[in-house]
Amino acid sequence: MTSASVKTVQVPALVIGTGISGLFTALKLSSYGVKVLLVTKSSLDESNSRYAQGGIAAVLPGNPQDSLDLHLQDTIRAGAGLCDEAAARSILAEGYTAIADLLDFGVPFDRNANQELALTREAAHSVGRILHAGGDATGHSVEMTLIDKIKQDANIEVIEYAQVVELLVAEGRCLGCRAVDYHHQQEWLIASPNVILATGGLGRLYSHTTNPGIATGDGLALAAQAGARIDYMEFVQFHPTAFYSEGKLHFLVSEALRGEGGILRLANGERFAFKYHPDGELAPRDIVTRAIYAEMRQAHTQHVYLDITHLPVETIEQRFPTILSSCLQFGVDIRKDWIPVAPAAHYLMGGITVDVDGKSTVKGLYAVGETASTGLHGANRLASNSLLECVVLARRVAYFVAHHAEQSPKASSSEQFSQSDVRLQSLKHPLGAYQFGSEPAMHEALNTLHRLMWENAGILRDAQGLTQALEQIEAMREQVERTQWDLSVPVGVELENQLMVARLVCQAALEREESLGAHHRLDFPETEPQLALAAMALGGTHTP
């Protein structure tokens, strides 16, 4: 790779990532008159949010069956008691206000025959409180609506296909970032007093995942390298039902199918979920995942089945058009065929430690969406609370930046960015000649890492497997340094980031010697209340 030209810009607010949380943050900042630069390593419309099928959980005013206390109770129960109750209450209380914002932006939420917002129920919710759009295409509908608004907003500039390779920090304050557009050989040095990470999760760390290729934990690695506190990395949620075909898991099969009455079956037709929990298919995700995994191991099979054939055809076609279409591509007609499903890595409950305004422990650095750890999700996220958290935290970050934060870089920041010779010498990943042949080796290293994480830090864990994983991760880090692979190319950046994030997950999982929520230790199968309380007091911190 030849040297790229360098372009320096200064902006009041920099948002990294273009999922729903990043887009919503940018739009809300713009509504307050703040100019925003939005940076994404892929296209504007590629993100985890786009693939969210289920919906957004919120207590609607006038719903006699629901209340904030009930939503909070469901959230804490699903989170295995590890939620930060005050933070959770604060975020959930703002749910409908955020929904109202989305309605104002034009999000076409589905409505019932009376033109009221349609609600459905998902696992571990006591009542129906899930809003959805396009049947099972909520994430896509919200994302596309927000993107249309972004494109019309003169206050928001977008840079696509630019990989952020480093956050720039001086004296405990984030000053901006360095990004590289590999398509156009353009390097960006972006100065900003307000840097908002909206980079999504880490699902691609695992060989089996519902996440798209961009979910490589980049924001977590960037924040850790910048000195930010990182919490609860052991809590990786594995979704119970991803579509299985020909040895691979291909896409998410929404929890909403079970919310509408879907039944989990073995090949012989046996319904097994009630053997593991009195709520059966509507038990919390971690319990349903382990139930499926246990049945698969016992039967030596690669999947079980989800059956919705007893539902009216019209219901299936109207509520689940995306899943119906996707399954038909593999020869499965969900109106009459059972759906082959198996668990897959799905969501990170931990992440960059932030307060309820999205502020991290590094001044000027914020996090929203899956990248952030607010305390809402505890040890196991309640279904459809993720998109709720995305929009609520985005609103709060935007308000705080617009009303309480600095809007222009400090003098020291301007000086640093004007002294290009000093600056470039201090940066990581100096752009240089591309080393021919290193990229295939890096891809193979990533594949090895993903298999390692699935086998040793996946649904079931123990000290031996986690220790082996940490040893192998360290050996891979040493190999990267020893072979001097080119880390200035996209796969190199992602390899380095994923090795760092994988180490954080394994360290955290090894240190928590109990089973709690999505974290299940075979050598410590019981939940120890005193350990849970101690972890809450310590904050579950795992910063390198």
Q: Which residues are catalytic?
A: 285
**CA 430 – CA 416 distance, rounded (Å):** 17
Helix axis angle for 385-404 and 85-93, nearest 10°, is: 90
Strands 365-367 and 195-197, by their bridges, are parallel
Residue 262 main-chain phi, psi, to 5 deg: -60, 145
- Distance, C-alpha 181 to centroid of its chain: 23
Widest distance between CA atoms in the chain = 70
Q: What is the four-CA torsion angle of 346, 123, 323, 350, rounded to 10 degrees?
A: -20
Contact, 332 vs 324, CB < 8 A? no
Helix H or strand E segment including 74: helix 68-78
Q: What is the four-CA torsion angle of 455, 461, 467, 470, rounded to 10 degrees?
A: 50
Question: Any bridge partners for residue 516, and if so which?
Answer: 519
Residue 478 main-chain phi, psi, to 5 deg: -65, -40
Contact, 259 vs 120, CB < 8 A? yes
Contact, 214 vs 494, CB < 8 A? no
Tokens of 317: 């076609």
**CA 314 – CA 317 distance, rounded (Å):** 5
**CA 298 – CA 77 distance, rounded (Å):** 28
Tokens of 234: 């052991």
Q: Which residues, in sequence order, are CB contacts of 433 under 8 Å at separation 6+?
A: 1, 2
Strands 119-120 and 130-131, by their bridges, are antiparallel
Q: Which residues, in sequence order, are CB contacts of 417 under 8 Å at separation 6+?
A: 8, 10, 175, 176, 189, 191, 409, 423
Question: Any bridge partners for residue 407, and if so which?
Answer: none
Q: What is the 3-state secondary structure (H, E, C) of 185-246?
A: CEEEEEECCCEEECCCCCHHHCCCECCCCCCCCHHHHHHHHCCCCEECCCCEEEEEEEEEEC
**CA 443 – CA 532 distance, rounded (Å):** 38
